[in-house]
Structure 1
Amino acid sequence: QECKLAAGDKSKVMFTHNLQAKFTLVELDASTGSLRLKIGKKGLNEKCAGAFPQQGSLLPDEHVPATPIQTALTEVVAGHLSGNLRSSVAALLNRVPPATPLQHHDESPPEAAIRIAHLMNGGCLVIQGPPGTGKTFTASQVITSLLTSGNKIGIASNSHKAVMNLLAACGDVAKVGGFQLHGIKVGGEANDPVLGSHPGVQYVPDAGQAQQVYANGVIGGTAWLFTRPEWEGALDFLFIDEAGQVALANAIAMARCAKNLVLLGDQMQLEQPVQGSHPGDAGLSALQYALKNLEASRPDSPVMHPVVPPDYGLFLGESRRMHPAVCRFISESMYEGRLSSHPDCARQKIVVSSGANSLITKESGIVFSGIEHDGNIQQSDEEVDRVTAIFRELHNRLYTAKDGLTRLLALDDFLFIAPYNAQVRALQAALPPGARVGSVDKFQGQEAPVCILSLCSSYGEYGSRGLAFILDRNRVNVAISRAQCLAVVVADPRIAGTAPGSLDDMMLINLFCKLTNSSTLK
């Protein structure tokens, strides 16, 4: 059956309800259904009486106790009840913008963010960065400016990878400014190349050791670090990156560590990876909560502002990634027409084939490549064939980048995206080794000249997750906006004729129709 486990993952095998053991997954071959597991002799003797039982169920061993987060959240609630709520937490919960004018007409967003941050005295600032608008660059400019003034800065996110990405950007900005980034990174990979590139950032493996090591500068970690009691009130600023994916509860629990809070992200891109069922606004991410449209929302049906209101936060409104023809669709469909493309991006184009049977006839923009098929839910051979044909047609074609330089399109210049793992595996098998194939989740933050999205579901065959999954607005946004020059959507065109069962369905189908109208092919 389908699984997300891969070689190197920690796993456990359930043999019976009271017999289980932890293993390292050494090898997994999905095509043959075979795997190799590793366990020490001591563990085998203690857990399995020295012998591996004949039957068992392989499960991911991903559980990390959330005790420090739960404790911090309980203490924040107690502080609220006693009237002693930290200012950064109160500003987030009450949706209060910084007590200073936001972006002036003569300011760029980074300039405005730096000015506002230096004037903050206990509050919350929201910075929304749509695809390719330089959210990480802007944040790194603000952080390094604050560091030069002696501020203690925390950088948090759901993943260590996101934290390291922002730390790396800060280190690069510091080098340009003639100084070295100093601080610590807690947890994650000890041999991350970012640490080698920025020797002033010390790696600390355990959150319990962090406060003894940290003196000043920047500190990077996850909620398991910043919710620990010794960090309460210890920092001047906490920057939460990808705040659209960070649970509100985690953000509140972390925010007490700092006087000021900065939320970075985009509520129109990927949402929280795991969502429970919570009453009211408790299930929202930090950014969703901050940008909830109170007038348009209904009980248990929140509506978000697609663009942060100008009197509440900063919107980075110029993409330096997408060709104007790609950006136009994203802007009008996702951002109320507020997102524009940098003039240099208009240079991007591909010299396409002029043959009568060409699949791609546009040198840039969005192309819909329709192919009818039946009975497919999570995997479509017909779409795999179409995707590979499009790749062969575009591979080695002449491409002009936004800097005006030309080159032939190589394999690495393509992203292949599908909503289901079954289609991902089918594409991996059909495309050359090394092809960049994955689900939307894998590619947020990445880009390529050509992005090909395969929706793989037949008309009327939408599975248990329905249209709401394959046409999820946020996921479509991320998929299409990976493209620097050309985005190709391969799908059954009859999906446009689906009878909507609700207003939400109607909006999904409308989005699909916009895609089909971008460029209908034979």
Structure 2
Amino acid sequence: MGRRPRWLRDPLHRCDWRSVASTSAGRRLARSCGPPRGSRSRPPGTGKTHLLSWLIAGFGAVRTANGRPARTLVTAFTKNAVGNVLDAVAKRQEVHDTAAPAPIYFGAPPSGGLAPGVQVLGRGDEAELAQEIASGRAVIGATIWSLYRLISSGVLPTVDGPTAPLFDLVCIDEASQMVLGQGLMALAGMAPGCRIVVSGDDQQLPPVRSMRSTRIDDREMGGSLYAFLKSAQAAEFPLEETFRLNEPLAQFPERKFYPGRYVSAAPTTRLTLRGDWRDGLDLVSRIALDPALPVVILVHDGLAAATSNPFEAALAAKFVSELADRVLAANGPPTTAEFWTEVAAVVSPHRAQNAAIRAMIPASLRPDAFVETVDRIQGKERDAVILSYCVSDPEFALAEAEFIFSPERLNVASTRARTKLVLIISRRLLEAVPGEQETMDKAELLREFVYSCDLLAETVLDGPAGRQVRTQIRGRGFEGDSLELDLTPDAAIEEQAPEMTPALEGLLAAIRRVAVGNSYGTAALSQVKRAMALAAEPFTDARLLHILGWISLTERDGRFGRFWQAKPFEAPRRVYPAEVDAVRARIGAVIREARSGRHCFYDQARDRFAWMSERGDDILLPIVQILQAEGLLTLGLPAAQ
């Protein structure tokens, strides 16, 4: 036999091969395995795929060199996880073992795609796949269902019910998301003497389906495959470095989830922005995007919300837009596709919130936007993650306390970012007090994550309908760094609001009385004129009520011409002055909030400004046209985007 490749003789790798080789089949348990360097405890970002690919490539090379079969199955809870391992194996073999056959993915390819070095065989190719396995050396990636389809296809020479002796090594990824039954299905292709490598992390999200703990002879039968093997005291090789998170991002997971064994291998890595990134940003965005603050948390006093929170959605969309304009990839500004696959992700526990955020993201950034639930981002990573916790209704929070306060959900969500995590969360959620002690402890963990970060500033932000929302900004920087934050308050916009007089109060009361009898909750000024026995429609005073935020005053087309219509509010909203500087500062947020689909209709955005003159003329349109000339927006017919 010839001399072994250097990568198989390397003593740093040799200990990894020995750990696996010296453990009997079914007893190897790696918690988020990492690269073969002697370090062994790497939960999120610890290079699990990297190590699995080395183990598979090394297994094939050594077994082949000794004249033994090397047939490997790679399976996992998701297709993308299988594809990620196969891509890495192809990369290792391309450099270190060019004679090795290409890895094969069997089944419908994963949505994330596959590397060019991975072959794809689909339904109907079972006979060809069986030949590849019979050759004695193959790396096959498949879900458990594709494996079942292969065994039941009738093309294999030896089948024993639902099992067949196909593989000498079975690698099961994402074992903490697989229920025990699924894990057992993954073992249906074991050949005599087969070895098993299982990787997972019981500190992250468990299987999606609900589970009930069931123990038989101290074995956990009602949970995940990982939980079962751990209860059976299978040999475990935890890894201790994270190659994903920088040091400030790794602090909390190390302290609460992986005490004493979660060290950043890239402690000083920072988000890369262009040199003038601060230009044009308000206070909250300057802090949120600052590369010197890997963790930024906004604690707000916004209105109660359940599965959709307009205030948080608008903030998340705002940060996405500003980040996309300023971030730099390896070769300069990223394309939209690169932005969403490498740079950024937006995460929220609820799909309704994700839909709201997606609708507010600028149309140019919406294609391929990664705006997903925590469950969908598990196993993935980005440079920056914007996390909206969404729920701000204490009663709703208590009703779903096990879900929203889940430590595993917090762990997954807070460990996806390489360099920047921006968390948006309601003070009402943090103040919710669950009735059960166990759930209360989980809620306390979330509070500790938030309030362990330093208080940097307090400000007031515009919420839905212009209502002001008090917001606290917290953050965590790099140890030893002296922060040079620009905490200059945002320039106040001068607003000269009229005084609420008894006459205006009387008009508002009359508008409300008329609106009660209308199914749309509106009142035409002609109806208000009759109700108050006035000589003329009260347009002048109604305009003042619009400016004060008590009504929305719009001009409509009717059967007998145009008419003015008022819609009253229970509480006043904020209406911005129709002045160039004020419109320039507020129009972006107004458009995001009023957007419907790809566009924002002009009259909907106009409604948030004091847009009409004393004669009823539109004084906002000329200002919008000025901003269009500046390139700030596009005014079309009939919509402004």
Shorter-chain TM-score tier: 0.5 to 0.7
8 Å CA contact 2:345, 2:382 repeated in 1:
yes
Shift of the 277–392 alpha-carbon distance from structure 1 to 2, 3 Å rule, reads same
Match of 2:284 in 1: 358
Shift of the 391–202 alpha-carbon distance from structure 1 to 2, 3 Å rule, reads closer
1:159 to 73, 78, 98: 78
The offset of 1:461, in angstroms, is 3.5
1:144 to 57, 60, 65: 57
Shift of the 232–519 alpha-carbon distance from structure 1 to 2, 3 Å rule, reads farther
1:82-161 matched pairs, under 5 angstroms: 111-129=14-32, 130-148=43-61, 149-150=63-64, 151-161=70-80
C-alpha distance after superposition, 1:428-462 (max 9, x if no partner): 01112233211122222322222111011114143
Moved more, 187-196 or 469-478: 187-196
Q: What's the Cα RMSD here?
A: 3.2
8 Å CA contact 1:323, 1:364 repeated in 2:
no
Query: Per the alignment, in what secondary structure is the counterpart of residue 194 of structure 1?
Result: coil
Indicate the structure whose relative CO is greater, using CA pairs within 8 Å and at least 6 residues apart. Answer: 1
**Alignment partners' CA distance in 2, 1:326 and 1:409:** 26
Query: Per the alignment, in what secondary structure is the counterpart of residue 336 of structure 1?
Result: coil
8 Å CA contact 1:375, 1:461 repeated in 2:
no
**Alignment partners' CA distance in 2, 1:249 and 1:467:** 28
**Alignment partners' CA distance in 2, 1:507 and 1:111:** 43
The offset of 1:142, in angstroms, is 0.3
Determine if the alignment matches structure 1 residue 267 to structure 2 residue 198: no
Match of 1:203 in 2: 121
Determine if the alignment matches structure 1 residue 511 to structure 2 residue 445: yes
Query: Per the alignment, in what secondary structure is the counterpart of residue 384 of structure 1?
Result: helix
The offset of 1:233, in angstroms, is 3.5
**Alignment partners' CA distance in 2, 1:421 and 1:183:** 35
The offset of 1:356, in angstroms, is 7.7
Shift of the 393–492 alpha-carbon distance from structure 1 to 2, 3 Å rule, reads same
Match of 1:417 in 2: 347
Query: Per the alignment, in what secondary structure is the counterpart of residue 237 of structure 2?
Result: strand
The offset of 1:146, in angstroms, is 0.5
The offset of 1:171, in angstroms, is 0.8
The offset of 1:119, in angstroms, is 3.8
Shift of the 513–166 alpha-carbon distance from structure 1 to 2, 3 Å rule, reads same
Give the aligned residue type for 2:123. P
**Alignment partners' CA distance in 2, 1:409 and 1:207:** 37
The offset of 1:272, in angstroms, is 0.9
Q: What TM-score, normalized to structure 2?
A: 0.56
Match of 1:177 in 2: 96
1:106-505 matched pairs, under 5 angstroms: 111-129=14-32, 130-148=43-61, 149-150=63-64, 151-179=70-98, 180-182=100-102, 184-189=104-109, 194=114, 196-198=116-118, 201=119, 203-206=121-124, 209=127, 210-215=129-134, 216=136, 217-226=138-147, 228=151, 229=159, 231-258=163-190, 259-277=194-212, 279-280=214-215, 281-292=220-231, 312-343=235-266, 345-348=268-271, 353=278, 357-361=283-287, 362=290, 363-397=292-326, 411-412=339-340, 413-432=343-362, 433-434=366-367, 435-462=369-396, 466-505=400-439
C-alpha distance after superposition, 1:204-231 (max 9, x if no partner): 4258644355223222222235454455
8 Å CA contact 1:394, 1:409 repeated in 2:
no
Q: Percent identity?
A: 23
8 Å CA contact 2:23, 2:235 repeated in 1:
no
**Alignment partners' CA distance in 2, 1:348 and 1:312:** 38
Q: What TM-score, normalized to structure 1?
A: 0.68
8 Å CA contact 1:170, 1:181 repeated in 2:
no
**Alignment partners' CA distance in 2, 1:345 and 1:492:** 30
How many residue pairs get aligned? The number is 395
The offset of 1:162, in angstroms, is 1.9
Structure 2 gap segments, 5+ residues each: 1-9, 33-42, 65-69, 152-158, 459-641
Shift of the 189–340 alpha-carbon distance from structure 1 to 2, 3 Å rule, reads same
The offset of 1:232, in angstroms, is 3.3
